Amino acid sequence: AQSVTQPDIHITVSEGASLELRCNYSYGATPYLFWYVQSPGQGLQLLLKYFSGDTLVQGIKGFEAEFKRSQSSFNLRKPSVHWSDAAEYFCAVVIRGSNYKLTFGKGTLLTVNP
Amino acid sequence: EAGVAQSPRYKIIEKRQSVAFWCNPISGHATLYWYQQILGQGPKLLIQFQNNGVVDDSQLPKDRFSAERLKGVDSTLKIQPAKLEDSAVYLCASSLVQTGELFFGEGSRLTVL
């Protein structure tokens, strides 16, 4: 079945540590790929996106993600986490030519310890 | 530039009552979306409009949910009658072009007692 999987429900890191959030997808063709962030009580904000081309994409707030076709993955990374990065992170996909319906994973909640 | 506006931010109702949520998208955005986000889950698309036409409403529970987008701008999502499982945050989003780059409002949190 077609799906977006975020294996980690909750991750805790110390401020200043590096971060990697995992995302895998299961679709026949490579979809458009996105990471959104949701701070408590807020709507979602786009961090970065991948459509084609360079497989390492840069986003806002110092985040980056790497698309790996062989692993059907689009993992989000940040070299040094700040306390303000505590939020919920959602991986999402759009199947090309499907009315551009955005389908989300279940999210990963990030806690940052001081 | 003003963002996506939603109201009310919070609503508490009894089951079997009705409720309506309003959304004003970013000016010029032709595509409007309503998502349902249940606690602990990712947002689920309920309905997608392109201007004032429906593009996708395959996951909208049509026996109790309805949505309209008159004049291709503002939109209203209605639930009647509400059930306990409708407790969720209802997110409105809009986009200028259909690529998956959505701009979200802050959401309307519904609690059904």
For the stretch B83-105, pLDDT in tens is 999 999 999 999 987 777 899 99
B33 Cβ partners below 8 Å, 6+ apart?
A102, B45, B47, B48, B49, B92, B93, B94, B95, B102
Instruction: For chain A, give every domain's residue range.
Output: 3-113
For the stretch A54-64, pLDDT in tens is 999 999 999 99
Q: Give the mean model confidence (pLDDT) for residues B72-92.
A: 96
Amino acid symbol at B43: P
Q: Specify the higher pLDDT residue, A112 or A3.
A: A112
* CATH number for position B73: 2.60.40.10
How do B44-50 and B103-104 pair as beta strands? unpaired
pLDDT band at A1 (very low <50, low <70, confident <90, very high): low
Cβ separation A42–B106 shorter than 8 A = yes
For residue A96, give the chain B residue with the closest CA. Answer: B99
Q: Using CA atoms, how far apart are residues A10 and A110, in angstroms rounded to an integer?
A: 6
| pLDDT score at A66 | 97
Q: Per-residue pLDDT for A112 more than 70?
A: yes
On whether the CB atoms of residues A49 and A62 are closer than 8 A, the answer is: no
| pLDDT score at B52 | 84
A3-113: CATH architecture: Sandwich (2.60)
Q: Per-residue pLDDT for A67 more than 70?
A: yes
| pLDDT score at A45 | 94
Show which of residues 24-53 on chain A sit within 8 Å of chain B, judged by CB atoms. Answer: 32, 34, 41-46, 49, 51
Q: Using CA atoms, how far apart are residues B93 and B31, in angstroms rounded to an integer?
A: 8
| pLDDT score at A24 | 95
How do B88-95 and B108-112 pair as beta strands? antiparallel
Q: Which domain, by its residues, includes B99?
A: 5-112
B41 Cβ partners below 8 Å, 6+ apart?
A106, A107
Domain count, chain B: 1
Q: Give the mean model confidence (pLDDT) for residues A102-110.
A: 94
Q: Give the mean model confidence (pLDDT) for residues A83-104.
A: 88
